Structure 1
Amino acid sequence: MRAVALGGGQGLHATLSALRRITPDVTAVVTVADDGGSSGRLRRELGLLPPGDLRKALAALAGEEHELWRAVFQHRFGGTGALAGHAVGNLLLAGLLEVVPDPVTALEEAARLLGLRGRVLPMCTEPLDIEADVVGLDEDAAAVRRIRGQVAVATTPGQVQRIRLHTAGSPTSTPTACPAAVRAVLDADVVLLGPGSWFTSVLPHLLVPELHEALITTSAARIVVLNLVPQPGETAGFSPERHLDVLCEHAPRLRVDAVIADADSVSTPDRLRRAAESLGASMRLDGVASGEARERHDPKALAESLRDALAAVRR
C-alpha cells in the first residue's frame, strides 16, 4: 500500500511512526515555511530550505538498524556558542542542500544514510513564507491584522482566520509544488492530512495550487487525523469540528473519506459527525492518545485506527 502523509513537526512524526507499522511504502510531504529556531537561523544565513521538519520526518522513517544515526540526527548541541541549539541533522541537511542543489536528491542521500523505510519530500523546493489574517489583537475585536512568518502565526495571541502562502521574499508570487510530491499524492493508495499545527503545518499543503489539485483529484483514500488538544495561539478555543470547518474554508472542493479523532478529546460527537459528513467523510472515535502525554498520539493505537478506517473505506 502506497501511503502519503502531509504535514510537519511532531504531528507528521506521529503519523509516519504509525504508517510504518502498516506499510513500508510511506512518503512524507513536508512543509517548508519554518522560520524559527535552528531551521530559521540556517534558512536566513544560507538561503536554504528550513531543514527541521524534514529532519524529523527522516528520523521517523529511519530503519531500526540505524538507531545510532537516528539519535545523532536528532541530537542538539548545547552550550552558548555558534552551534548552540542546532540539531546535527539540520546541519547535515544544510550541507547536503549546498553540495547537492536538487533538494529531492539531497533528501535521498540522507535517506540512504538512515536506512529509510520510505521517502521524504519537500512540499516545495524553495522556502515559503506564511501570512495570516488575525483578529482579537486590538480594542476592536473584529479588526483584522496581518501577521507574517510561521513562528509569529503559530504563537499569536489572537485568533487566526485565514492564511496565505508565497515564495520567500516575493509576497505576490504563488508557490510551485515539488513535482515528486504531486506525483506521490496522485499515485497513492491513501493520503493523510494531520495531525499537526493546523494553520502552519496542515493547511499550507492546500495553498500550493498543484498540490491542492492533486489532493482533490487523487483516487487515494483521504483521511484527516485531528489534533488531540487545541494549540495555544494558533487554534486556542477550537473545537474538533472547527478544525474541519477551517479545512473546508481553505479547500471547499476537497472531499474526505474518513476523519479520525480521539474519543476522549471530543465532547460533542454529533457536531463532529455532521462536520465530517459535510466533507463526505465518516467519523471514527478511537483511543489514539499517548498514555504518557495526552497531547501526543500513540503510534501503535493510531496505526490500528488507520487500519480500521481504511478497511471501512474499502468496504
Structure 2
Amino acid sequence: MSGELRAVALGGGHGLQATLSALRRITADVTAVVTVADDGGSSGRLRRELGMLPPGDLRKALAALAGTDADGSLWATVFEHRFGGTGALAGHAVGNLVLAGLLDVLGDPVAVLDQACRLLGVRGRVLPMSTEPLDMAADVVGLDSDPDAVRTIRGQVAIASTPGRVKQVRLSANGNAEPTACPEAVQAVLDADLVLLGPGSWFTSVLPHLLVPELHEAMVTTSARRFVVLNLVPQPGETAGFSPEQHLDVLSQHAPRLRVDAVLADADSVPTPDRLRAAAAALGAQTVLDKIAAPALPGRHDPHALAASLRAALERRTDRWR
C-alpha cells in the first residue's frame, strides 16, 4: 500500500474514541464519521433548544484526534470540560457550546467541524454521518407479559437503556423522512484504504451508519479493507446477554450485502472462538483474536494494543481475507 493509509472509522461515543486513538498511531489520515441521533444530556438539550446536530459524540471524536502539542492538548481538555453547579450551564461540555456557537456563525456543520479541527490541531477530519439530526426507533421484545410481543421504543437514550431485547433499529429525519448522508462522509468511505466499524453501543452507535442509504451503499461498494472491531462486553440494556457472534448476526441482518475482511476481537472476551469464526466467515471475514483490552479499564480497549492488532492485520496479504 503506497502513501499514507487513508482510514475511516464509523461510530460514536467512547467506542469511536478508542478506535480513533488506535488509528492515529498508524496513520495521520484519519476521518471519523459520527452518529448524530443522540437525544440525551447536554447534546439533547442543545438539539432541542437550537435544532442543531447533537454535538457530544462529535466533540469526543475531535478530542480523540486533537494534536499532541501543548495547544492541541489544552483545547482537547477544555472541549471535554463539563460545567458543574445547578445553573443554566450545568452539565454542558465546553466543546458542545463552542460547536453550537460556531454553527450559529458559520451555518454549515461540516465547516464548523473543519474549523474545530484546525482549533484542536487535528490532522484528520471529523464528519457527521448526516448534516441533520436523526431520530431513532427500535423494535423491542421482552417488555410485556407476552415475551414475543413487539413494542416500539423511540429515542437513542431510551433504546440504549431499555430492559427489553432490541431486535431492530430504524432511523428517520424530520419525522418520517429517509435520512440523507453527509456527502463528505460518503466520499471519505469510498476513497478510504481502511474502514473500521465498531466498537461501541451496537444498536445506537454502530448499526445506525448502515441505516443511512448512501452511507450503506458506500460501505458495500468501497474498495477499502473493511474491519469490524467487536466490543469487549455486552452493553447493558441493548445487547445484554449477547455473545460476540450475535453482534455479527445482528450486523448481517441490518446489512445483508455488507462483506467484511476481518473481525477483530479480544481473545479473553470470546468464550467460543469457533462460533465467532463461523459467524465472521459468513460475512467473508477472517477472525483476528488478540489481547486488546485495557487491563486497568474494564470494558475499554487499549489503544496501543488495538493499533498493533490493526497494523498486523493490515500487513497480511489481501488474499488471506477472501
Query: Counterpart in 1 of 2:166?
Result: 160
Structure 1 residues 86 and 302: alpha-carbon distance in aligned structure 2, compared to 1, 3 A threshold:
same
What are the within-5 Å matches in structure 2 for residues 32-181 of structure 1? 32-65=36-69, 66-167=72-173, 169-171=174-176, 173-181=177-185
Moved more, 138-147 or 94-103: 94-103
**Which SS does the other structure have where 1:80 is aligned?**
coil
Q: Partners of 1:312 and 1:129 in 2: how far apart?
A: 40
The two structures, once aligned, show a CA RMSD in angstroms of 0.7
Amino acid of the structure 2 residue aligned with 1:57: A
TM-score calculated relative to the size of structure 1? 0.98
Tell me which amino acid in the other structure corresponds to 2:171.
Answer: L
Between the aligned partners of 2:191 and 2:301, the Cα distance in structure 1 is: 27
Q: What SS does structure 1 have at the residue aligned with 2:138? A: strand
Deviations 1:58-100, CA, capped at 9 Å, x for gaps:
0000000111111000000011111011000000001111211
Task: Say which of 220, 226, 229 aligns to 1:222.
Answer: 226
CA shift for structure 1 position 312: 1.9
Aligned counterpart, 2:280 = 276
- Code of the aligned partner of 2:175: S
Taking structure 2 as the reference length, the TM-score comes to 0.96
Deviations along 1:188-246, whole A, 9 cap, x unmatched? Answer: 00000000000000000000000000000000000000000001101000000000000
Total equivalences in the alignment = 313
Mapped to 2, the partners of 1:305 and 1:50 lie a distance apart of 32
**Paired residue for 1:250?**
254
CA offsets 1:270-296 (integer angstroms, 9 cap, x no match): 000000000000001100000111200
Q: Could you tell me which residue of structure 2 aligns to residue 231 of structure 1? A: 235
Partner of 1:297: 301
Query: Which residue identity is paired with 2:301?
Result: H
Q: Within 2, Cα distance between the matches of 1:246 and 1:314?
A: 26
5+ residue gaps in structure 2? none
Unaligned runs of 5+ in 1: none
- Quote the Cα distance in structure 1 between the aligned partners of 2:296 and 2:149: 40
Q: Distance in 1 between matches of 2:301 and 2:287?
A: 17
Offset at 1:314? Answer: 3.1
Deviations 1:122-169 (A, max 9, x none): 0000000000000000000000000000000000000000000000x4
The CA distance in 1 between the partners of 2:191 and 2:235, in whole Å, is 33
Identity %: 76
Alpha carbons 1:288, 1:297 under 8 Å: kept: yes
Q: 1:249 to 1:313 in 2, by over 3 A?
A: farther
SS in 2 for 1:4: strand
Partner Cα distance (1:52, 1:176) in 2: 20
SS in 1 for 2:64: helix
Higher mean C-alpha displacement, 231-240 vs 304-313: 304-313
